Amino acid sequence: MAIRRILHYPDKRLRDPGQPVTEFGPALEKLVEDMAETMYAAPGVGLAATQIGEPIRLFIVDVATGDDDPSDLKVFVNPEIVKKVGTQCWEEGCLSFPGVHEEVERAEVVTVRAQNEKGEHFELEADGLLAVAIQHENDHLDGKLMIDHLGLIRRRLVHRAMSKRAASDAAAE
């Protein structure tokens, strides 16, 4: 397993939509392991392959929230949200926007169809944090980012802060 570099906004690759996964096997399973190690080290509750420069339709989520909760890693390959019910606001963060937390409105309950890393199909209904994480990570696969859910003024402020951070990081390298 290896920790991969997470792309930070405004990296243009974050806007590239993921392509469907057609091959399942050891390489995909290794990528899932690398993504899990990367997500846990960050730490985060979700990570899309597009966030580490892999333009495929794959994301992982683990919403276990502390030492008392056992890890519950879920793998979503070629996901499709087929049903959304209600609305909820949630303060979201994103590994591609370090230090940024914003209120985002999303569906309260979602039903998602996907495959696991072995290619087996499944359907899952989720609510609460899991529903939010699924929608957030699925957005990444479509090239849509958390910032796109914000009003114009908040979007400009976040864009400016992240652009300054990117310039500072580039100067430090």
Residues classed as catalytic: 137
Query: What is the distance between the alpha carbons of residues 142 and 114, in angstroms, rounded to a whole number?
Result: 15
What DSSP string describes 91-102? EEE-TTSTT-EE
What DSSP string describes 18-56? PBPP---SHHHHHHHHHHHHHHHHTT-SEEEGGGGT--B
Instruction: Read off the amino acid at residue 151.
Output: G
Residue 48 bridge partners (DSSP) = 59
> Any idea what the Cα angle at residue 110 is, between residues 105 and 116, rounded to 5°?
125
Q: Could you tell me the two tokens for 160?
A: 């400016």
Query: What is the distance between the alpha carbons of residues 165 and 168, in angstroms, rounded to a whole number?
Result: 5
